[in-house]
């Protein structure tokens, strides 16, 4: 049974959401896990996971928690790395006035 997922138009992921997805992709690479395998192991559809891995939508907090469990990643460390990466990205992309 697939978990309930948000429906309708999703907002464009911001820097933090993009950094979270990047950390998840890195963890998947370390574990040599495909997106379809991750989807199956987290009880989400392949389409749902794929859109988020391509930064077309954001993962939910529940998604990230489940993904960390499946990948054997420490939730705090993954989010910490994402915070640091999103800060670097924001510093490099400050809006001009």
- In the chain (97 residues long), the average pLDDT of successive 10-residue segments reads 57 94 98 98 98 97 98 98 90 53
Q: Which two three-digit tokens encode residue 37?
A: 């395998």
Q: What is the pLDDT of residue 1?
A: 44
Q: What is the pLDDT of residue 7?
A: 60
Instruction: Please report, in angstroms and rounded to a whole number, the separation of the first and last CA atoms in the chain.
Output: 49
Q: What is the pLDDT of residue 11?
A: 83
Give phi and psi for 22, each to the nearest 5: -65, -40
Cβ neighbors of 69 (< 8 A, separation 6 or more) are none
Return the domain boundaries, the chain: 15-90
* Domain 15-90: CATH architecture, name and number where available: Orthogonal Bundle (1.10)
Q: What is the pLDDT of residue 93?
A: 54
Nearest to 82 by CA among 29, 37, 36, 15: 15
DSSP string, 76-90: HHHHHHHHHHHHHHH
């Amino acid at each position: 049974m697939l978990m309930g997922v948000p429906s309708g138009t999703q907002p464009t992921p911001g820097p933090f959401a993009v950094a979270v997805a990047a950390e998840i992709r890195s963890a998947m690479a370390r574990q040599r896990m495909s997106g379809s395998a991750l989807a199956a192991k987290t009880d989400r559809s392949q389409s749902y996971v794929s859109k988020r891995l391509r930064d077309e939508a954001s993962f939910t907090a529940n998604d990230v928690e489940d993904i960390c469990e499946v990948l054997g990643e420490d939730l705090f460390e993954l989010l910490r790395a994402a915070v640091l990466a999103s800060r670097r990205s924001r510093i490099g992309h400050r809006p001009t006035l």
